[in-house]
Amino acid sequence: MCPQVYSAVTRQPLISESAFLEGYQIYSLKDRVYPGIKSATKAVVKGVVSIADEKILDNLDWFEGSEYERKVVEVKLESGELIKCFCYILKNTHHHIIDSKEWDFQHFLDVNLEDYLS
């Protein structure tokens, strides 16, 4: 999640650390400007981890909606340390909305972010 979206949803700044989620891939979704993550062999998602209290998690749960489930996953920090954290994974019942196009985070920032936040 980009800092601007995180801050809009939680009303808190995103203080994070880079992390890698192995065994998952990020996908574009049909008719949506945001992505979905699902399990995929030999794939890695680069993202961030941050500390979140229950209020922040409640806000994120509301924002992510019914297409995603909050799951405990293990990620690797840049230091090599493995930690457990929550990640929003696209529910199996929503895999039909996965698009064949690759997710392009930079395109989202350049083209869609401003409208997405309004």
Active-site residue numbers?
Answer: 64
Taking alpha carbons only, the member of 113, 116, 54, 42 closest to residue 86 is 54
Taking alpha carbons only, the member of 72, 76, 63, 71 closest to residue 34 is 63
Q: How far is CA 44 from CA 17, 32, 39, 73, in A?
A: 16, 22, 9, 13
Bridge partner list, 76: 20, 82
Q: Do 48 and 60 touch, CB atoms closer than 8 A? A: no
Distance between CA atoms of residues 25 and 65, nearest Å: 20
